[in-house]
Amino acid sequence: MIEMYLLEQLCAFKEYGTLSEAAEHLNIAQPSVSRAMKKLEDELGVALFERQKNKIVLNQTGLLAAEYAKRILDEERNMEAQIKAFDRSLHTVNIGSIAPGPLMVLLPRLTALFADKVVSSDIETEEALLQKLNRNDYRFIILNRPLDDEKYICKEYITEQLYISVNHFHPIATQKSVTFAEADGQHFIMYSRVGFWENIVKEKMPSANFYKQENLEAVGEIAANSDLPSFSTNITQKILPSRQNGRINVPFSNPEAKANYYLICLSENKRMIKDLL
C-alpha cells in the first residue's frame, strides 16, 4: 500500500522541481526525499523518474502519478476537515437571531438544556439566518415574523418592546410614551449589534445620530455618565438591571417598536423545539 507521506513527497517534488527544494518545503532532509521517491517507484514497480547523474525529473508516468497523488492528498485533507467540522457540530448548538433581546432570555436556558454542549449564537439578517438554518449551520433561529412553511417548525416565543432610556433631566423623562418622530434628531448611545432594531430606529428617526458601541458594557457606562439618551427594552431592563440606575425608560408608542419573536427550526428537528418549550 502506498502511504500518504510518499504521495506528499511526490507532490512536493512535482511542485518544486528538485528534491532539495521539495525537502526544504517539507522540512525534512533531502536524502529522505530521494529515498522516498525510490521507495514509491519500488512499491509501484514502475519508473516515475528519469535520472541523470545529478538530475532527476518526472517521466510521463510520474506526472500521472503526481496528479493522482494530489487528488488523494486533497481528499485526505478534506476528510480531516469534514470530520472535525462534523464532530464540532455534534458538540455545539448554534443559534442565530435577528436581535440580541431574545438571546438574552434563551441562551441561559439552552446552556442548561444542553449541558454537555457548547452553545454559541450570532446576530444576523433574516436572509442569512434562513440560509444557514437550511445548511444546518444553525439548529434554531429567531425571527421577528412567523414562517408559514412546512419545511420549518415555528413557535411564537416572546415579545420585546423598545424604550428610550433617558436621565431624569431629559424632557422626555416625564412622558408616559414617546413616538419616534418626537425622539428624532437626538444623539443616541447604541449597542452596535442590535440586529433589525438598527434598521427600525434609523428609518424612523432619520435625523438622529447613533453612537455605536461594540462593547455592551460600555453602552451602560457611557449612558450613565452622559446626558445622551439610549435604548432599552422590557428584556434588557430585566436582564441588565444595573443599567437602569438613574434612568427613566419611556416606551415608544409606534407599532414598529414592538417585536414578536418566533423560534424556528427545520421540521426534521422538531424534537428540539419540544425540549425547549
**Residues 49-88 within binding reach of DNA (CB under 7 A):** 49, 51-56
Choose one: 16-24, 144-152, 168-176, 221-229; the region binding DNA (CB under 7 A).
16-24
If one asks whether residue 129 binds DNA (CB under 7 A), the answer comes out as no
* 5 scored as a contact of a second copy (CB under 8 A): yes
Q: Which stretch binds a second copy (CB under 8 A): 74-82, 107-115, 197-205, 226-234?
A: 74-82
Q: Which residue has the cell 424632557?
A: 171
**Contact pick of 50, 76, 221, 268 for a second copy (by CB under 8 A):** 76
Least separation, in Å, of the C-beta of 50 and DNA? Answer: 10
Q: Is the Cβ of residue 76 or residue 217 nearer to a second copy in the bound state?
A: 76
User: Residue 181: how many CB atoms within 10 A of its CB?
Assistant: 11
What does the block give as the cell for 158? Answer: 416572546
Q: How many CB atoms lie within 10 A of CB 116?
A: 5
Q: What angle do CA 160, 248, 214 make, to 5 degrees?
A: 60
Per CB under 8 A, 239 contacts a second copy: no
Among a second copy, DNA, none, partner that 84 touches (CB below 5 to 8 angstroms by kind):
a second copy
Q: How far apart are CA 213 and CA 192, in angstroms?
A: 5
CA separation for the pair 96, 126 (Å, rounded): 9
DSSP letter at 61 equals: H
Q: Which stretch binds DNA (CB under 7 A): 30-38, 86-94, 151-159, 169-177?
A: 30-38
- For position 47 contacting a second copy by CB under 8 A, the verdict is yes
- Picked from DNA, a second copy, none, the partner binding residue 36 (CB below 5 to 8 A depending on kind) is DNA
Q: How far is CA 23 from CA 7, 9, 62, 110, 129, in A?
A: 13, 8, 18, 50, 46
Helix ranges restricted to H, the chain? 4-16, 19-26, 30-44, 60-91, 100-113, 126-134, 180-183, 196-204, 216-224, 234-239, 270-276
Q: Determine if 36 is a binding residue for DNA (CB under 7 A).
A: yes
Nearer to a second copy, 75 or 268 (CB): 75
**How many residues contact a second copy, by CB under 8 A?**
29
CA separation (Å) from 29 to 21, 33, 55, 73, 214? 10, 7, 17, 21, 50
Which CB, 40 or 143, lies closer to DNA? 40
d(CA 246, CA 225) in angstroms, rounded, equals 10
Q: Quick one: 83 or 218, whose CB is closer to a second copy?
A: 83
Q: Which of residues 80-99 bind a second copy (CB under 8 A)?
A: 80, 82-84, 86-87, 90
Residue in the structure block whose three cell numbers are 412567523: 146
- Write the burial class of residue 22 (CB in 10 Å: 0-12 exposed, 13-18 middle, 19+ buried): buried
Residues in the interface with DNA (CB under 7 A) total 26
Is 58 one of the binding residues for a second copy (CB under 8 A)? no
Per CB under 7 A, 32 contacts DNA: yes
Any contact of residue 65 with a second copy (CB under 8 A)?
yes
Among 29, 57, 79, 118, binds a second copy (CB under 8 A): 79
- The Cα 24–Cα 15 span in angstroms is 12
Residues forming the site for DNA (CB under 7 A):
3, 5, 18-21, 23, 27-32, 34-39, 49, 51-56
